Amino acid sequence: MKKIATLVGATVAIMATAGAHANTLETVKNRGAVQCGVSDGLPGFSATDSSGRWQGIDADVCRAVAAAVFGDAEKVNFVSLTATERFTALQSGEIDILSRNTTWTLTRDASLGLNFTGVNYYDGQGFLVSKDLGVDTAKELDGASVCIQSGTTTELNLADYFRVNGMSYEPVLYDTSDQTVGGFEAGRCDVLTSDQSQLYALRIQLSDPDSAVVLPEVISKEPLGPVVRQGDDAWFNVVKWSLYAMINAEEMGITTANAEEMKSSNDPGIQRFLGVSGNMGELLGVSNDWAFNISKQVGNYGEVFERTVGTGSPLNISRGLNALWSDGGLQYAPPVR
Amino acid sequence: MCWSLRFCWAFLAVYGADYIMNPNNRNGLSRLFYNPTARSLFFQALILGLLLYFVMTIVGNVMTNLNQRGISTGFGFLSQPAGFGISQTLIEYNETFTFGRTFFVGLLNTLLVSFLGVIAATFLGVVVGISRISPNWLLRKISMVYVEILRNIPLLLQIFFWYYVVLQTLPRPRDSLSFGESIFINIRGVFVPKPVPDAGFSFYIALLVAAVVAVVALTIWAKRRMRDTGQQFPVFWTSIAILFGTAVIGFFITGRPIMLDYPELRGLNFRGGITILPELIALWFALTIYTSTYIGEIVRSGIESVSHGQTEACRALGLNEGHRMKLVILPQAMRVMIPPMTSQYLNLTKNSSLATAIGYPDLVSVFAGTTLNQTGQAIEIISMTMLVYLTISLLVSAFMNWFNRRVALVER
Ligand SMILES: N[C@@H](CCC(=O)N[C@@H](CS)C(=O)NCC(=O)O)C(=O)O
């Protein structure tokens, strides 16, 4: 019922406040913390560890923004949201950034009053089936019961895929990923479908991860990225460039470990980036050492990727599409200049 | 700016009324205000005005805010294709149908579970209520424990219990429990044969209608005869015999006009037949059991509210137990029972929105959940959904009020 409460609350908030003023950066600075919307717990993307700290590639985007704005990556309040709650929470101002494995689509960009600030993970939808089903390809799934999380692009892609292939299915909808995994494990459905990266994350949550396999088909494009409210360009820029700073840092070879010594580099690009020269931060409305703080406290994109979803994590996902453009991937950031 | 200006108007209106009503300022107009009818009209108009102003402000705010935030508005989305599947649809639906259609699919699913719940909870509740005052000690205690325990466990937990603890531990499709190779039970639900009309079906239906007409006629005749002559006729058993007889004999003489489509395991799942989703069963059981405890208490208190003198009078007249309940106690108990019963029915309907928790595709889950999320039209969808629950509630209470008036004591 929390969901209904959020929705009704947000509706009331939109009714009661006259003319919302759109200066999120100012609001955030006054509050002293970034309100960051994350998932209910998706390992690698945003989930709490044993000490209650939010970990993951999505959580770190918010930390990067906090590092840019406050010089302190810890000034973030995390708000966990289900897929259905997330947009309303952002629209109504409950959160400043939505960083919750959210796919960038035209409908969301154009009709929800939101803006996607970039892509922090290139994904695609896939299927997880239990091994004893004996299925090797998604084409054999005719008549299957499929567990899905409601309010996702997943729901729509699934319908399209089965339709195109002339197959039928029974959708079994759940609100949180725990329930979805639970339904799959109990056998309520034959297949669990979701963004492929998330399938790896969900698979390690199974009591016996080896009993399930991810099918080879990828049936959609799912560019996941942070989202902010439309019409607040200053804040949009801060969030967008915080992500770009992480990618640029990787290109420049700046890491958590060497950020300090890189300050004395004589490369003018690195000097500008770390705020040794120029006024890049000021232009964004934050301090000039914003990118230094991001690199030092959060790390560059590659470091974050490896630590959260990559080879340094239980998910063990390879960079693939998410490698830098210079390494044959799609991650590319405009220059800081 | 706009705010304060409008506020000034309201202020002037109130202040002006005060001025006029001060006896020192009396003139022709103000005398009118000393007329109680005119005065009360004035204040009602004022309140109405303020209320309208309040509503207008809200609507204005909403429009400004949504525009400013670039959120699209309006009901145009209802005619757009939905693009998602729904697991239980009482009317034809697939992902090419519109968002508007998902509203009706969800609404019907809500009505289905509410209807099933109301019927079952009433039956169970009456049984529990009567057991609560039964002369049998064991029955009395068991029903008391039933009521006290189940009424005090939150409904959501009971739904989870049925769904996760009971139904999710059933076997998978391949190891289904099978009853006579025609009914199957597994974790995906209960699969029963589906009756499909065959040649001669309309003839069979005509026969059944005729039987019902005969039963109605018989009842009227028996009532008249009883009134005129005092002779009784076993209407109940005769009616059962007529209906049952026609159903069975008619079935064979019309050449078995109904075929059964049996569910059968093909591929990953059962196909054919009728599927009763575990989500529906869990929700239905939980709603029924939870509400039956309250209905039981209403029935018990209703019966106990009829004074003991009535029972004694019945005994003195030599009425048997059954007649005493049916003719004397229950009609009087009904008057006490109906108003609280109405609120239980309304509660059950509204509680059915807990369906979202286990993914039963009711109105809240399908329309205020998936459709809302895919379109982002929160205000429109939440308003429509609230309007539906309001309408259902008003209809149910209108019906129950009508029924209440029918059984009410006619005072002479
Ligand atoms: N990328 C898709 C799907 C996002 C999504 O919600 N995926 C589920 C995977 S089952 C999830 O993240 N669940 C985590 C949670 O609910 O906390 C979208 O934006 O619609």
> What are the structural domains, with CATH classification, of chain B?
2-64 (no CATH), 99-193+262-407 (1.10.3720.10)
- Find residues 75-114 of chain B whose CB sits inside 8 Å of chain A: 83-87, 95-96
CA of B300 relative to ligand 1 center, distance in Å:
49
Q: Does the C-beta of A83 come closer than 6 Å to ligand 1?
A: yes
Q: Distance, in angstroms, between B96 CA and closest chain A CA? A: 9
A197 lines ligand 1 (CB under 6 A): no
Q: Does A109 touch chain B (CB under 8 A)?
A: no
A38 and A100 Cβ atoms separated by less than 8 Å: yes
Instruction: Please answer whether residues A294 and A286 qualify as being in contact, where contact means their C-beta atoms are separated by less than 8 angstroms.
Output: no
Q: Tell me the mean pLDDT in the region B164-179.
A: 91
Percent of chain B with pLDDT over 70: 92
Say what the pLDDT of residue A13 is: 59
Angle between helical axes of A2-16 and B378-407 (0-180°, round to 10):
110
Q: Where are the beta strands (DSSP E) in chain A?
A: 34-38, 47-48, 54-55, 76-80, 97-98, 114-116, 121-123, 125-130, 144-149, 169-174, 191-195, 212-214, 222-224, 227-229
Tell me the pLDDT band of B250, cut-offs 50, 70 and 90.
confident
Residue B5: the pLDDT is 45
The residue among B162, B164, B373 with the most chain A CBs within 10 A of its CB, best to mutate, is B373
Residue partners of B80: CB distance under 8 A and separation at least 6: B98, B99, B375
pTM: 0.83
Report A:141-180 residues touching B (Cβ under 8 A).
141-145, 150-152, 155-156, 158-160, 162-163, 169-175, 179
Which of A79, A102, A119, A152 for a ligand 1 pocket mutation test, highest count of atoms within 8 Å of Cβ?
Answer: A152
Distance between CA B233 and CA B226 in Å, rounded? 8
Residues of A in contact with B188 (CB under 8 A): 145, 170, 188
Q: Which amino acid is at B302?
A: G
Q: Is any Cβ of chain B less than 8 angstroms from the Cβ of A106? A: no
* Highest mean pLDDT: which range of A298-302, B342-346, B377-381: A298-302
CB A239 within 8 A of CB A226: yes
The pLDDT of residue A203 = 86
Distances (CA, A) of B94 to A144, B79, B83, B87, B88: 16, 14, 8, 10, 11
Sign of the dihedral through C-alpha A147, A153, A157, A160 = positive
Contacts (Cβ under 8 Å, ≥6 apart) of A83: A149, A150, A151, A152, A175, B373
Q: How far is the CA of B272 from the centre of ligand 1 (A)?
A: 33
Cβ of residue A190 closer than 8 Å to a chain B Cβ: yes
Residue nearest to ligand 1 atom 13, measured at CA: A177
* pLDDT of A201: 83
The Cα A56–Cα A46 span in angstroms is: 5
Residues 225-244 of A with CB under 8 A from B: 229-231
Looking at residue B25, its pLDDT comes to 56
pLDDT of residue A18: 45
Contact B191, B273 (CB under 8 A): yes
pLDDT at B138: 96
Nearest to B356 among A19, A169, A175 (CB): A175
Which chain A residue shows the shortest CA-CA distance from B55?
A15
At B258, the pLDDT band (50, 70, 90 cuts) reads confident
Give the tens place of pLDDT for each residue, B261-309: 999 888 888 988 899 999 999 999 999 999 999 999 999 999 999 988 9
Mutate to test the pocket of ligand 1, among A189, A195, A219 (most ligand atoms within 8 A of CB): A195
Six-digit token string for B96: 């090419």
A12 CB within 8 Å of a chain B CB: no
Do residues A161 and A249 make contact, with C-beta atoms less than 8 angstroms apart? no
Tokens of A66: 């906090």
Determine the pLDDT at residue A14: 58
Q: Is A24 in the pocket of ligand 1 (CB under 6 A)?
A: no
Which residue among A198, A202, A203, A204 is best mutated to probe the pocket of ligand 1, counting the most ligand atoms within 8 A of its Cβ? Answer: A198
Do A10 and B71 count as a contact with CB atoms less than 8 A apart?
Answer: no
C-alpha–C-alpha distance, residues B412 and B409, integer Å: 9
* Mean pLDDT across chain B: 88
Instruction: Tell me: pLDDT of B3 over 50.
Output: no
pLDDT at residue A298, as a whole number: 97
Contact (CB, 8 A) for A253 and A141: no
What domains can you pick out in chain A, each with its CATH number?
Answer: 2-122+223-327 (3.40.190.10), 125-220 (3.40.190.10)
Q: Nearest-CA distance from B142 to chain A in Å? A: 33
* Residue B353, pLDDT above cutoff 80: yes
Nearest-CA residue for ligand 1 atom 10 is A177
Tell me which H or E stretch contains A155. helix A153-164
Task: Give the model's pLDDT for residue B285.
Answer: 97
More confident residue, A197 or B255: A197
pLDDT at B374 over 90: no
Of all residues in chain A, the one with the smallest CA distance to B362 is A173
| Of residues B170 and A151, more confidently modeled | B170
Q: Is the CB of A193 under 6 A from ligand 1?
A: no
Structure ipTM over 0.85, yes or no: no
Cα atoms in the 13 Å half-sphere on the side-chain side of A146: 29
pLDDT at B154 over 80: yes
Chain A environment of B189 (Cβ under 8 Å):
none
Cβ-Cβ contacts under 8 Å between A and B: the total is 160
**What pLDDT is stored for residue A77 in this prediction?**
97
Q: Which atom of ligand 1 is nearest to the CA of A152?
A: 20
Give pLDDT tens digits for B99-143: 999 999 999 999 999 999 999 999 999 999 999 988 899 999 999
Residue B211: both structure tokens together: 């039987």
Q: Whose CA is nearest to atom 9 of ligand 1?
A: A194
Ligand 1 contact via A46 beta carbon (within 6 Å): no
Q: What is the pLDDT of residue B20?
A: 53
Contacts of B393 (CB under 8 A, 6+ apart): B346, B349, B350
Contact across the interface for B376 and A16, Cβ inside 8 Å: no
Taking only the tens of pLDDT, chain A with its 337 residues reads 455 566 566 556 555 554 445 699 999 999 999 999 999 889 999 999 999 999 999 999 999 999 999 999 999 999 999 888 899 899 889 999 999 999 999 989 988 989 999 999 999 999 999 998 889 999 999 999 999 988 888 999 999 999 999 999 999 998 888 889 989 999 999 999 999 998 988 888 888 888 999 999 999 999 999 999 998 999 999 999 999 999 999 999 999 999 999 999 999 999 999 999 999 999 999 999 999 999 999 999 999 999 999 999 988 899 999 999 999 999 999 999 8
Q: In terms of residues, how long is chain B?
A: 412
Q: What is the pLDDT of residues B214-240, one digit of tens each?
A: 999 999 999 999 888 888 888 889 999
Q: List own/partner pairs for B60-67 with CB under 8 A and 24 or more apart.
A: B61/A14, B61/A15, B61/A16, B61/A17, B61/A18, B61/A19, B62/A14, B62/A15, B62/B379, B64/A18, B64/A19, B65/A14, B65/A17, B65/A18, B65/A19, B65/A20, B66/A14, B66/A113, B66/B379
CB A179 less than 6 A from any atom of ligand 1:
no
Q: How far is the CA of A42 from the centre of ligand 1 (A)?
A: 8
- Closest residue to atom 7 of ligand 1, CA basis: A194
Residues of B in contact with A162 (CB under 8 A): 85
pLDDT at B143: 96
